[in-house]
A and B are shown apart, each in its own frame.
Chain A
Amino acid sequence: MKSGKFTRLIETVFAAKDDEILCSEFFEKLPRFVDLQIAKENAAELLADVHHHVHQCPECEEIYLALLEAVQSEK
């Protein structure tokens, strides 16, 4: 694997919390998270579990980044 992926593996191992949301709950909350970010609200603090999942799940992070870019470009 690339060194960035290895780093991510190690970081996610040490960042794992006892209580984390799963991908389906992440998708339920992601649109609000993105709208809060677009509105310059502190989304990471208001939806800390979503913010944490973005860090822990690279595939969900890819969806988050694509959605953020899409919504920003439609503004």
Chain B
Amino acid sequence: MRTNEEWLRDLRDGGSRQADALEELREKILRTLRAYLAHSAESKEIAEDCAQDALLMIQGKLGTFRGESRFTTWATMVAIRIVLGELRRRRWKEVSLDQSRTGNDLPAWPIEDAKSLDPEKALQQNEAWRILKSIIENELTSRQRFVLVANVFQGMPLDLVAGKLGTNRDNVYKVIHDARKKLRKSLVERGLSQEEILRIFEVRGKDSR
């Protein structure tokens, strides 16, 4: 098994050591991607293409490897980011959403499951959703609203939202982050806590799952 230094040395070698290291890395990445895609509805054919793309990216980014982890963990992450990005792009393409609606329409009701059968609880849910919706529609900036609706409610991947807005993933995450902070402030001002909202909608938080 190569050390980090050996991986870097061999991948930069330019000779037979580089060819061996690339082949070993290719096999390792392919094994990982095939295992990941084994239970996926998507065809395993993308494993080969993504492994190839990953190898090229890894070679191009060798200088950015900081040596704080095992080299193979870093390289595997690069490959997984590529395959997951591809899967997300494919899944988003399959969503038959009218492009003009992207980032625009909040759903009439936030959760697919039926409303509570208890009339009093149903009233509380209607009121909570009315408040949440009103904050999103009236208090967020148009950019915050677009990003939140597109990514969180409609499922558009962060990278694609970034592409649509002509920016990068970090900026999109920052917009979502600012929207969350504004939402929290406004919800708290209206007396709604996390526990209260989850109780009203009869959904369980992470700690009680």
Seen from chain A, the residues whose Cβ lies within 8 Å of a Cβ on chain B are: 1-7, 9-14, 16, 18, 20, 22-24, 27-32, 34-35, 56-57, 59, 62-63, 66-67, 69-71, 73-74
Looking at chain B's contact residues, is the secondary structure mostly helix, strand, loop, or mixed? Answer: helix
B152 at the interface (CB under 8 A from A): yes
9 contacts across the A-B interface (CB closer than 8 A): A5-B152, A6-B111, A7-B198, A23-B169, A27-B81, A28-B66, A31-B70, A67-B76, A74-B76
Interchain CA distance A23-B194 in the complex, whole Å: 25
B113 adjacent to A3 (CB under 8 Å): yes
Please list the residues of chain B having a beta carbon within 8 angstroms of any beta carbon in chain A.
28, 32, 35-36, 66, 68-70, 72-74, 76-77, 80-81, 84, 88, 107, 110-113, 152-153, 157-158, 169-170, 173-174, 177, 180-181, 183-184, 187, 193-194, 197-198, 201, 203-206
Chain A residues with CB below 8 A from B107, complex form = 1
Main SS of the interface on chain A? Answer: helix
Whole-angstrom distance from the CB of A21 to the nearest CB of chain B?
9
CB neighbours of B194 from chain A (8 A): 10-11, 13-14
Residue of B36, B111, B157 near A70 (CB, 8 A) is B36
Residue from the set B80, B187, B205, B206 with the largest chain A CB neighbour count within 10 Å: B80
Given contacts A3-B113, A9-B152, contact A35 B69 (CB under 8 A): yes
Are A31 and B84 within 8 A (Cβ)? no
Chain A: CB-nearest residue to B69: A31
